[in-house]
Homo-oligomer: A and B are copies of this chain.
Amino acid sequence: MTGGQNGGPPRFKLTTPLEPPYIATARMFAASLARQFDLPEDTIEDLKLAMSEACARAVATGGKDGRLDVAAERRGDRLVFEVVQGSGSLAEGGEVATDSMEAALHLELIGALFDDAESVAGPDGAQVIRFSAA
């Protein structure tokens, strides 16, 4: 997801420390943008859940540079979200103990909520979870 003044439409970004309290901030970020784009309330709830799972997984995989990085962009009639993941294995889990069932659930839930959900390599090599809603 590139963009901004010189590369396509303006994009949205949120950065916080990679810590559990700010997962709520990321949910609010997603919900706020979704409201601006007039997405239905049910879809907003799905986005909050997918965002929460993607952020929990970012924490569990160690994230990148100690930051939780979330981006969003409008593409046509869709609102696309991206959450930067770490390269740590879920089993390692950093400081935050993540039970293996929960770890598996993160991606499963995101995929169940959004058909186009994918885990891709971002421009700088970091793994990114991407999903979109309309």
Contacts and interface: CB of A to CB of B under 8 A. Distances in A.
Nearest to A22: B36
B25 A29 contact: yes
Contacts of A17: 9-12
Copies of this chain in its oligomeric complex: 2
B4 A67 contact: yes
A36 B65 contact: no
Task: Please provide the 8 A-B residue pairs with the shortest distance between their CB atoms, ordered closest to farther.
Answer: A10-B17, A13-B15, A25-B32, A21-B36, A5-B66, A5-B65, A28-B32, A28-B28
Interface of A: 4-5, 9-19, 21-22, 24-25, 28-29, 32-33, 35-36, 65-67
7 contacts: A4-B66, A12-B15, A12-B22, A25-B29, A25-B33, A28-B29, A29-B29
